[in-house]
Amino acid sequence: MRPSTESLAFDALSDGVRRQILAILSEHGECTVSEITERIDSVGRTTVSSHLRVLRTSGVVQERKVGRYRYVRLDADGSVREALDFLQRIMTQAAEELSASASTAEPRDPFEEKLAVG
Amino acid sequence: MTSATVTLSSEADVKLTPAEAFERFGRRDDAGWMFRARCHRVAPGYAVAIDLPGGCDAQVLGRLRAVMPGREIVIEHDQPWRGQLRIKFERTGAAQTRVRFRAQVPSEGIEWLARHRGASLPLPAPTGARRIGLLTSKSGSGAVYSMAAEYMARLAVEQVNASGGVGHRPVELLIADDSTDHLQARRETVRLIEAGCQAIFACVTSASFSAATAAAEPHDVLMVHPVINEGGMEAKKVIRFGERPEAQMAALSRIVERETGGNRWFLVGQQYSWSFGAHRAAAKILDASGSRVVAQRFTPLGTREFAPIIDSIRASGADVVMSSLVGADEVAFQQQAHEAGLRDLASRVSLVMDECTLEHVGPVAGNGIWTALNYFQSVTSPGNDELLRAYREHFGPWAPPLSSLSTNVYEAVRQYLELAALHPDAAPNHLAAHWRTRKSDQESVGQRNMATQRLYLARAEEDVIRVLDEVVA
């Protein structure tokens, strides 16, 4: 029986380089293959390409070609992409929340004990 | 940390010094950040709770692993998945800081999130192993008390597999999250059964367990509720162990009345079978001892705002407050009761004040709460040191504390698998019958006879639960 796309998607997460690719796409959105390769020190372009092929087959990423460039992005409909996107939004929101915090309330003594709230 | 981990990151440039940005972590006012992360102190080892935004009824629950003021905060968390969050502060100007966030999320975390957000994921392919399920609460109110249950179920299965499995077959544990919601418990039970689980161990509320047993009824599956409950619901394929409120209240009312002289009780609980049963038992015990219930309140599961109930307690003239609230609701109640100064008016008794819950209530708000459960980390019973050592060796120093709930799950899984090895072809109802009549005078923690009602009377003293006495009901 052919494994389902979802099952393949979670298998795709079993490799460290593939997880790194997903994290890059999650943080930076659509990237070219060269941009992905530049951000991964551990392996070369050929290995990155072969991992991208696994991710594409699993339905985790989508690819489009423009001239000489191949652009890769997380699959717009996959549950893995959706979960990663959600997590990335949370991370971005945490950063934005801190930026907003910088413009409110006076700082306190950094060593003051925090009150119990939950 | 599992090796299958995705690392996500983000960063912010803020007009604050590193010390100022750091100081705002854990603050309660508008300056607080990281979704109002809550902790009692920003220091290593302290419990931390962060509400996940975006409509998730889920909290990241864990501990501060490393804290370097103005430089770095590292959080190790266990709920809703096991992961790590690292926040680094880097000075980039006179009053300018770059704050980098880095989260390590295992594939189990991504799978949990996908499922939690409605994705219909496939069942795990058959492996030839004997499958059992753990229905636990990784989100919602129950996530607080069930933190170590999954780890202890895993430990039990690993130990059994290390000694050859059951009938020369390995055992595989599947985990399901009921989100502290009975409808989700029903759906997840069906999923575990479809995946081939022959027994399901439930570290969930009685409401969830009731829904789970209804879903399992037509199937050949043994349902086990090994954690504190109000009793009832037992059937041929349904077993319930754990502490019972009658025995808890009999032990607690005696000592509280003797030590404090209090005899006017206010009961606060939740609107479902556990609290209804617990309050009935409490009223009966108190009536027999000459004390009385001056009032009681029930609130929906998931309540976080207790001001109206605290006002009612004040107005009632009660001198003892008994809570049957569980999980995050109990955390919120005890903290708000403390902040409202209730401790000066009444003694506090909690039926489910395990180590995980106390850690989040905090050492100050929790101090002095009476409780009675069948296990505490501090018990001196044989086998406890070995069990604690095995747990820490497997899951590390930052894993949540053991509690009666997680220890009961461990004992139930171990005992079920031992019985399954002795009776490999027995149907669930026959295994249940063997279990009920199992003879054991084992006193070692991890192997105790679960049918015996044994309780430790205890009191929270800052960040530990001090055992005062042992009671056999």
pLDDT band at residue B332 using 50, 70 and 90 as cut-offs: very high
On the question of a common fold for B124-242+384-450 and B245-373, the answer reads yes
**Among chain B residues, CA nearest to A86:** B54
d(CA B207, CA A24): 42
Give B5→chain A minimum CA distance, Å: 7
Cβ–Cβ gap B122/A4 under 8 Å: yes
B35, B40, B114 member nearest A116 (Cβ): B40
Residue recorded with tokens 């603050």: B27
Report which of B266, B317, B263, B319 is spatially closest to residue B291, judged by C-alpha positions. Answer: B263
Residues of B within 8 A of A91 (CB-CB) are 8-10, 101, 103
CATH match of B245-373 with 1.10.1060.10: no
Residues B384, B448: contact at Cβ < 8 Å? no
When mean pLDDT is compared across A41-50, B230-239, B401-410, the lowest value belongs to A41-50
B31, B110, B331 member nearest A83 (Cβ): B110
pLDDT of A10: 60
Give A67→chain B minimum CA distance, Å: 30
Q: Three-state SS across chain A? A: CCCCHHHHHHHHCCCHHHHHHHHHHHHHCCEEHHHHHHHCCCCCHHHHHHHHHHHHHCCCEEEEEECCEEEEEECCCCHHHHHHHHHHHHHHHHHHHHHHHCCCCCCCCCCCCCCCCC
Beta carbons within 10 angstroms of residue A92's beta carbon: 16
Cβ–Cβ gap A110/B364 under 8 Å: no
Amino acid at site B439: K
Q: How far is CA A103 from CA B26, B37, B175, B220, B401, in A?
A: 17, 19, 43, 61, 38
pLDDT tens digit sequence for B243-260: 999 999 999 999 999 999
**Among chain B residues, CA nearest to A99:** B14
d(CA B178, CA B149): 13
Highest mean pLDDT among B11-25, B97-111, B147-161: B147-161
Best mutation target among A27, A61, A90 (most B Cβ atoms within 10 Å) is A90
Domain ranges of chain A: 5-97
B6, B20, B38 member nearest A19 (Cβ): B6
Cβ–Cβ gap A117/B335 under 8 Å: yes
Q: Which CATH number is correct for B124-242+384-450, 3.40.50.720, 1.10.3720.10, 3.40.50.300, 3.40.50.2300?
A: 3.40.50.2300
pLDDT tens digit sequence for B348-389: 999 999 999 999 999 999 999 999 999 999 999 999 999 999
Residues of A within 8 A of B364 (CB-CB) are 116
pLDDT of B413: 98
Please compute the mean of the pLDDT values over residues B263-285 and round it to a whole number.
Answer: 97
Residues of B within 8 A of A115 (CB-CB) are 28, 40
Whether B73 has a pLDDT exceeding 80, the answer reads yes
Please compute the mean of the pLDDT values over residues B68-80 and round it to a whole number.
Answer: 96
Whether B88 has a pLDDT exceeding 90, the answer reads yes
Residues B408, B241: contact at Cβ < 8 Å? yes
pLDDT band at residue B123 using 50, 70 and 90 as cut-offs: confident
Please compute the mean of the pLDDT values over residues B181-200 and round it to a whole number.
Answer: 94
d(CA B248, CA B453): 10
Higher pLDDT, B472 or B200: B200
Give A76→chain B minimum CA distance, Å: 14
Residues of A within 8 A of B103 (CB-CB) are 87, 91
Cβ–Cβ gap A83/B365 under 8 Å: no
pLDDT of A104: 64
Residues of A within 8 A of B32 (CB-CB) are 101
- Residue ranges, chain A, pLDDT below 70: 1-14, 76-77, 104-118
Best mutation target among B6, B41, B92 (most A Cβ atoms within 10 Å) is B6
pLDDT band at residue B110 using 50, 70 and 90 as cut-offs: confident
pTM of the full structure? 0.86
Residue A95 has which token pair? Answer: 């950063």
> Could you say which architecture CATH assigns to the domain B5-113?
2-Layer Sandwich (3.30)
Residues of A within 8 A of B463 (CB-CB) are none
d(CA B357, CA B379): 18
Helix, strand or coil, per DSSP, at residue B50: strand
Please compute the mean of the pLDDT values over residues B155-166 and round it to a whole number.
Answer: 96
DSSP state of B32: -
B127: buried, middle or exposed (CB in 10 Å: 19+, 13-18, 0-12)?
exposed
B2 phi and psi angles, rounded to 5 deg: -65, 155
Report which of B347, B365, B326 is spatially closest to residue B463, judged by C-alpha positions. Answer: B365
Best mutation target among B2, B5, B7 (most A Cβ atoms within 10 Å) is B7
d(CA B377, CA B350): 17
Give A109→chain B minimum CA distance, Å: 7
Give B332→chain A minimum CA distance, Å: 6
Domain ranges of chain B: 5-113, 124-242+384-450, 245-373
**Beta-carbon-side half-sphere exposure of residue B433 (alpha carbons within 13 Å):** 7
Higher pLDDT, B36 or B249: B249
**Beta-carbon-side half-sphere exposure of residue B201 (alpha carbons within 13 Å):** 32
Helix, strand or coil, per DSSP, at residue B110: helix
Length of chain B: 473
Which residues, at least 6 apart from A77, have a Cβ–Cβ distance to it below 8 Å? none
d(CA A84, CA B6): 9
B99, B117, B360 member nearest A98 (Cβ): B99
pLDDT of B42: 93
A7, A103, A117 member nearest B28 (Cβ): A117
Residues B460, B372: contact at Cβ < 8 Å? no
When mean pLDDT is compared across B97-111, B158-172, B345-359, the lowest value belongs to B97-111
d(CA B453, CA A103): 57
Whether B28 has a pLDDT exceeding 70, the answer reads yes
Give B37→chain A minimum CA distance, Å: 9
CATH match of A5-97 with 1.10.10.10: yes
d(CA B352, CA B263): 21
Give B101→chain A minimum CA distance, Å: 7
pLDDT tens digit sequence for B419-455: 999 998 899 999 999 998 887 777 788 888 887 778 9
pLDDT of B57: 78
